[in-house]
């Protein structure tokens, strides 16, 4: 059985290691949101960056800010210190 690090060597890096992807996805589903909506809010064209950020493999600040601004609980996002409480 492969662990997350074997699948994604970037998972668990910095703030992303405490991110709760399943909670974020559950929240998005409850709001009827898709990754494309987050990309639009973040004003980025690559939905893949949204996916990587949600899953903890990236810490795209535009994506994290968009999720936060759309109402996603910060406790799911594991925001970098300088983004908390903005």
For residues 21 and 66, is the Cβ–Cβ distance under 8 A?
A: no
Predicted confidence (pLDDT) per residue in 7-64, tens digit: 444 444 555 788 999 999 999 999 999 999 999 999 999 899 999 999 988 889 999 9
pTM exceeds 0.85: no
CA distance 33 to 8: 25
Nearest to 62 by CA among 24, 52, 25: 52
């Amino acid at each position: 059985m492969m662990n997350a690090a074997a699948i994604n060597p970037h998972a668990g890096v910095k703030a992303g290691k405490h991110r709760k992807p399943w909670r974020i996805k559950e929240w998005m589903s409850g709001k009827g949101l898709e990754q494309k909506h987050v990309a639009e809010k973040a004003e980025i064209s690559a939905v893949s960056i949204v996916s990587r950020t949600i899953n903890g493999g990236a810490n795209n600040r535009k994506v994290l800010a968009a999720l936060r601004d759309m109402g996603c609980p910060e406790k799911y996002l594991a925001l970098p210190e300088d983004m908390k409480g903005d």
